[in-house]
A and B are shown apart, each in its own frame.
Chain A
Amino acid sequence: MTTAGSEQNKAPGSTGGATGMSANNDIRQPLWLLAELTYACPLQCPYCSNPMDYANFKKELTTAEWLDVFRQARAMGATQLGLSGGEPLTRPDLVELITEARKMGFYTNLITSGVGMDADKVAEFKEAGLDHIQVSFQASSEDLNDLIAGTDAFKHKIAMAKAVKANGYPMVLCFVTHRQNIDQMEDILELAISLEADYLELATTQYYGWAMHNRDQLLPMKEQLVKAEAIAHRYQEEQQGKMKIYYVVPDYYEERPKACMNGWGNVFLTITPDGVALPCHAARELPGMELPNIRDVSVKEIWEDSNDFNRFRGYEWMKEPCRSCDEKEKDFGGCRCQAYMLTGDPASADPVCSKSFDHHLIEEALKRGRLEAEKTVSEAKPLVFRNPKNSKKLSASE
């Protein structure tokens, strides 16, 4: 899935501005519905946030089941609908889903690689009432873009970005940055300017799913980051009033964790291709999840009453140092999935936090990344690309 980083970006709290939504703690409503329509994707991005074993999930929700989910979430107050995946364009019923969602009053966001789209389809989506198309790129050059995507896609993406603009949409481009492409920052910004983008999301790879597996090869180094950040900030100033640029600092380099999903079960609801409801798209991999499915239970019951959604609400579940921390209401202890992946305990503090007892794990990961970066091409570990073959192989060996 090319959209990994941008999706994570949509976790309110991981950036401000366009991706933020105001949270109201008194009335919990799933304001954001992320519909992962499918795990099918023509791209093979090694930083995909889909689960490693995605190839094992086959039974996608039907059109009627999706529309029912949309209707339920809308009735509960959801306003933003993200149509994502995988690559949502592989769903033959996409136009119908857009049409109906728009009629229900959703603001509809299509999060796509652009592969499988053509100018006619863009116009058809417009007709159906689609509000916004975000096209993701893997890099600013054809070579690197297509290498990372695992397929020839760059030229087509450029054409699709232009078609999006020509159809009267705001053009929202997303680049997910990591060690292999972050040195292109200036070229990325120039590309966005030449395409007349209205918004540019300079997302960062977040280390879940495939990205976690490839972390040593993807973590940027400090000096790369400092340089890229300075360039991004310069363009932010220059482009004021023309292009909105969102720059996300990789959390591994932060002192405090991100307020992941703006709080667990607070505003964000993900539905996976096979109907599992999750508080975030990475939560499927946490231990002890019951993974309620919208085929069995109503969205309302899941949101309000399920163990999964109540598990990390509030502050009672917290351990030290979060429990007595005066910043816990700001960041909610960070990301539960990251805490689990790195420490084995989903209730521990996100190790990104410098107050975490496990913060050394982050420092060690950065060191390992640097060691890997310093290897010669022949010694270096190859990136593992996200495709069904690797998914089956890796999930069988676990």
Chain B
Amino acid sequence: MSDPVFNASSVPLLALGYRFQWEPMQDCNVLLYPEGMVKLNPAAGEILKHIDAHKQTVAELIAELKAAFNGADLDNDVYKFLEEAHDNGWIRAE
């Protein structure tokens, strides 16, 4: 496995050319990119919605998500998703 890209102070951003939006006909959030589309499951959609909404560190992102989900313990899940999303080329770290 490669070294992790994200830590608490890194800022995840959508990759160049990627767009996040809700698709009513698909009944899910999607990422659109040059000539393609990824359908997102609810958890991925929720994390990316926050990343798309405003620039923030991973620590702030996790705090926001915790506030939205009654303090659920989701640190590991978020980090895991961010690394996967980065491997897929969906997001970059600033």
Contact = CB atoms under 8 A, between A and B. Distances in A.
B37 interface: yes
Contacts of A21: 36-37
A29 B27 CA distance: 13
B76 interface: no
Contact of A131 (B17, B25, B38): B17
B36 A80 contact: yes
A131 B32 contact: yes
Given A76-B25, A77-B25, A198 B16 contact: yes
B19 A107 contact: yes
Contact of B36 (A20, A29, A77): A20
B49 to A, nearest CB: 16
Interface string A1-27: 000000000100000011111100000
A18 B32 contact: no
Contacts, number: 56
B32 A79 contact: yes
B36 A18 contact: yes
Contacts of A244: 89
Contacts of B37: 21-22, 31, 79-80, 107
A80 B32 contact: yes
B34 A18 contact: yes
Nearest to A20: B36
A354 interface: no
B36 A169 contact: no
Interface in A302-347: none
A83 B55 CA distance: 31
B7 interface: no
B9 interface: no
B23 interface: yes
5 contacts: A18-B33, A80-B32, A82-B35, A132-B33, A170-B16
Contact of B17 (A10, A20, A80, A198): A198
Contacts of B33: 18, 107, 132
A222 to B, nearest CB: 29
Contacts of B23: 77, 79
Given A131-B17, A132-B17, A170-B16, A80 B26 contact: no
A79 B85 CA distance: 21
B39 interface: yes
Interface in A158-195: 168-170, 172
Given A19-B35, A80-B36, A134-B34, A29 B19 contact: no
Contacts of A31: 37
Contacts of A79: 23, 30, 32, 37
Given A77-B23, A79-B37, A169-B17, 11 more contacts: A19-B36, A21-B36, A22-B38, A77-B26, A80-B32, A80-B36, A82-B35, A109-B35, A132-B33, A170-B16, A199-B34
Contacts of A134: 34
Interface string A64-108: 000000000000110110100000000000000000000001010
Contacts of B39: 22
A109 B12 CA distance: 25
A283 to B, nearest CB: 20
Interface in A129-168: 131-132, 134, 168
Contact of A18 (B21, B25, B30, B35): B35
Interface in B24-61: 25-26, 30, 32-39
Contacts of A172: 34
A107 B36 CA distance: 9
Contacts of B16: 168-170, 198
Contacts of A29: 25
Contacts of A19: 35-36
* Residue picked from B17, B23, B32, B35, most chain A C-beta under 10 Å: B35
Given A22-B39, A132-B17, A244-B89, A107 B32 contact: yes
Given A29-B25, A77-B25, A244-B89, A131 B36 contact: no
* Residue picked from A20, A79, A109, A131, most chain B C-beta under 10 Å: A79
Nearest to A170: B17
A392 B19 CA distance: 43
B75 to A, nearest CB: 26
Contact of A170 (B21, B32, B34, B36): B34
Contacts of B36: 17-21, 80
